[in-house]
């Protein structure tokens, strides 16, 4: 169990001065060639500055003690290939994403299939803030305060059938809104999946915000999944469909290269990616920047107490 570090104050989670400085810079750059030259940078900053508040109560049972990653990195250094392959592309181009109206259909092997408006989803359960470590397969990591509620609360409402063994998540893929979808990097739409017990684990978060504000578009607005003991690509963004299946669903990156991206994708320092080691990581943040010293990667990203029992008896080098 992880407990909230009392040294982290609510006022520190979203530094007001950061956003005020951004607004001032945007105003200064609005006129002249200087503004035009830096337009992509300022569009990224404006996205971070113009978020709406999202009421969420900190859940101390899910608050890692690690130092928080500053919001400016969380909202500007992302993998979201629907908007481009560079880490800065999502923040630069996600302004085209329309998050209202938005519906999510829940279908497949459930007693109560339903299509829910995003506002109905927001009201389904009390909103919590959880501070989670997130680990990318590329070797970098962040510590992010996410806002949402356990996915299990939604699953319980739709009453899966006994034959439902997996949950599939399907993301939006709209060429008009998402320039990256025009590429053939993967087969669109983006698809991810979890085993039923993984989806029902209390750690798995149906997520609507971060840092006490609604999700920025570049972070998977308006609704995504966060699965903190797995590599980041398992946490599907901008979800439009949740499907319950008996067979293991095909997932985007495992279809792209199953040798590099297995279905489970649990953070496991003992299983290297074919092109690099997973034994260590670099934490992104202000103090140390891109050259932060490497730290040892923890099994299950440090959440073994909550999730290891689900994989008892499995060969985690084979089922990676």
Domain boundaries, given as residue ranges, for the chain: 10-311
47-70: average pLDDT: 84
Euclidean distance between CA atoms 108 and 77, whole angstroms = 35
pLDDT value, residue 293: 86
Euclidean distance between CA atoms 212 and 51, whole angstroms = 10
Residue 17 has pLDDT above 70, yes or no: no
Tell me, what DSSP letter sits at residue 83?
Answer: G
What pTM value is reported for the model?
A: 0.84
Strands of the chain, DSSP E? 57-63, 103-108, 114-117, 128-135, 140-150, 166-171, 191-195, 205-210, 213-214, 224-226, 239-245, 280-283, 294-296
Residue 295 has pLDDT above 50, yes or no: yes
What would the two tokens of residue 314 be? 């499995």
Q: Which CATH architecture has domain 10-311?
A: Alpha-Beta Complex (3.90)
pLDDT value, residue 268: 95
Q: How far is CA 61 from the centre of its chain?
A: 20
Residue 168: left (phi > 0), alpha (psi -120 to 50), or beta? beta
Tens of pLDDT, residue by residue over 114-172, are 999 999 999 999 999 999 999 999 999 999 999 999 999 999 999 999 999 999 999 99
Band of residue 289 on the pLDDT scale cut at 50, 70, 90: low
pLDDT value, residue 260: 85
- Cβ-count burial of 296 within 10 angstroms (0-12 exposed, 13-18 middle, 19+ buried)? exposed
CB 191 within 8 A of CB 173: no
What would the two tokens of residue 218 be? 């570049």
Euclidean distance between CA atoms 158 and 142, whole angstroms = 33
Residue 22 has pLDDT above 70, yes or no: no
What are the backbone dihedrals phi and psi of residue 74, each rounded to the nearest 5 degrees, phi first? -60, -35
Kindly tell me the sign of the dihedral angle through the C-alpha atoms of 4, 196, 142, 314.
Answer: positive
pLDDT value, residue 87: 95
Residue 165: left (phi > 0), alpha (psi -120 to 50), or beta? alpha
Tens of pLDDT, residue by residue over 168-227, are 999 999 999 999 999 999 999 999 999 999 999 999 999 999 999 999 999 999 999 999
Q: 32 or 233: whose pLDDT is higher?
A: 233
pLDDT value, residue 51: 60
For the chain, the average pLDDT equals 86
Q: Nearest 10 degrees: CA dihedral of 65, 145, 226, 213?
A: 170
Alpha helices, DSSP H, located in 132-226: 151-158, 196-200
Residues 6+ apart with CB under 8 A from 270: 279, 299, 316, 317
Cα radius of gyration rounded to whole Å, the chain: 19
């Amino acid at each position: 169990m992880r407990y909230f570090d009392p040294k982290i104050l609510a006022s520190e989670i979203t530094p007001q001065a950061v956003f005020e400085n951004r607004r001032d810079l945007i105003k200064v750059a609005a006129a002249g060639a200087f503004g035009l030259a830096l337009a992509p940078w300022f569009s990224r900053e404006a996205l971070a500055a113009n978020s709406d508040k999202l009421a969420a109560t900190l859940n101390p049972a899910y608050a890692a003690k690690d130092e928080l990653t500053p919001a400016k990195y969380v909202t500007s250094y992302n993998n979201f290939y629907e908007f481009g392959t560079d880490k800065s592309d999502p923040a630069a181009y996600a302004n085209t994403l329309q998050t209202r109206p938005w519906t999510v259909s829940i279908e497949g092997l459930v007693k109560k299939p339903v299509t829910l408006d995003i506002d109905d989803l927001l009201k389904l359960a009390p909103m919590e803030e959880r501070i989670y470590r997130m680990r990318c397969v590329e070797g970098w990591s962040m510590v992010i305060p996410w806002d949402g509620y356990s996915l299990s609360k939604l699953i319980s409402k739709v009453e899966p059938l006994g034959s439902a063994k997996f949950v599939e998540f399907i993301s939006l893929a709209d060429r008009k809104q998402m320039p990256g979808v025009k590429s053939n990097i993967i087969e669109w739409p983006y698809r991810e999946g979890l085993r039923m017990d993984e989806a029902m684990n209390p750690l798995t978060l149906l997520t609507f915000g971060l840092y006490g504000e609604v999700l920025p578009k570049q972070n998977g607005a308006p609704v995504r999944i966060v699965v903190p003991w797995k590599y980041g690509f398992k946490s599907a963004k901008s979800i439009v469909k949740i499907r319950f299946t008996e067979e293991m669903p095909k997932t985007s990156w495992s279809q792209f290269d199953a040798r590099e991206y297995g279905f489970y994708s649990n953070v496991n320092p003992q299983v290297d990616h074919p092109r690099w080691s997973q034994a260590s990581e670099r934490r992104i943040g202000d103090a140390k920047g891109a050259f932060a010293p490497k730290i040892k990667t923890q099994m299950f990203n440090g959440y073994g107490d909550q999730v290891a029992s689900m994989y008892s008896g499995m060969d985690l080098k084979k089922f990676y």
